[in-house]
Amino acid sequence: MFAERLREAGAECLVPALDGGDFATLTISKQLGVIQAATGEGSVTLIGSSMGGYLAALYAAAHPNVERIVLLAPAFGFARRWPQRLGPEAVAKWRAEGSMKVFHHAAGEPRRVGIALLDDGATYPKFPAVTQPTLIFHGRNDDVVPYTFSEEFQALHPQAEVHLFDSGHELTDVLDPMWELTAAFLFGVRD
């Protein structure tokens, strides 16, 4: 929806596959490399959801060519939350086997991902030091990433604007209000 409406508004819009075609060896560092290859050195705005939101914030913190970011239920502290969510036995099994099955949203099915995702992710900050204007949407009923993480991010980043909705992690039931706020944030207009 965002890509379609951005293109209708005349914006160039790229939607790279952040796994780079290799979900099994996915890491935060590799995904940041995909973003680098897609954006280059010119001025860009990044939009990301869940882990993509966290990646957009990480990338923006290190790249001043990013003018602004829009984050949907950003997975702040991703590598610190997974062990808590999975439990020590599941993490130990993941480490012993080298990979585990997780749901691949783009493929619509479970796929194996290596433990390097967790290990590499642990080297990144919970809340990236973003200086760019930031618009965040989060669902109060999100059972994947607590909305309080977005509020904590906002407390550390006064340029961040957080909008909470009575929605879950997917936010698919609030697309129109999110687009209206995004259009105002990006283009200074109301839809």
Domain spans in the chain, listed from the N-terminal domain onward = 2-187
Cα dihedral sign, 5-9-13-18 = negative
Mutual orientation of helices 28-39 and 51-62 as an angle, nearest 10°? 60
Alpha carbons within 13 angstroms on the beta-carbon side of residue 108 total: 0
- What pLDDT sits at residue 78? 87
| Residue (of 120, 140, 98) closest to 51 by Cα position | 120
Q: What is the pLDDT of residue 191?
A: 43
Residue 181's contacts (CB-CB under 8 Å, 6 or more residues apart) are: 135, 137, 163
Beta strands in the chain (DSSP E): 44-49, 66-72, 99-104, 109-114, 134-139, 160-165
Q: How many CA atoms lie within 13 A of 69 on its CB side?
A: 32
Q: What is the pLDDT of residue 161?
A: 97
- Per-residue pLDDT reduced to its tens digit, 50-61: 999 999 999 999
Residue 189 has a pLDDT of 62
DSSP-derived secondary structure letter, 111? E
- The CATH superfamily label for domain 2-187 reads Alpha/Beta hydrolase fold, catalytic domain (3.40.50.1820)
Q: β-strand 134-139 against 66-72: which pairing, if any?
A: parallel
Each residue's pLDDT, cut to its tens digit, for the chain (191 residues) gives: 999 999 999 999 999 999 998 999 999 999 999 999 999 888 999 999 999 999 999 999 999 999 999 999 999 998 888 888 899 999 999 999 999 998 887 788 999 999 999 999 999 999 999 999 999 999 999 999 999 999 999 999 999 999 999 999 999 999 999 999 999 999 986 54
Contact criterion met (CB below 8 Å) for 145 and 76: yes
What order do you get walking across the sheet with 134-139 strand by strand? 44-49, 66-72, 134-139, 160-165
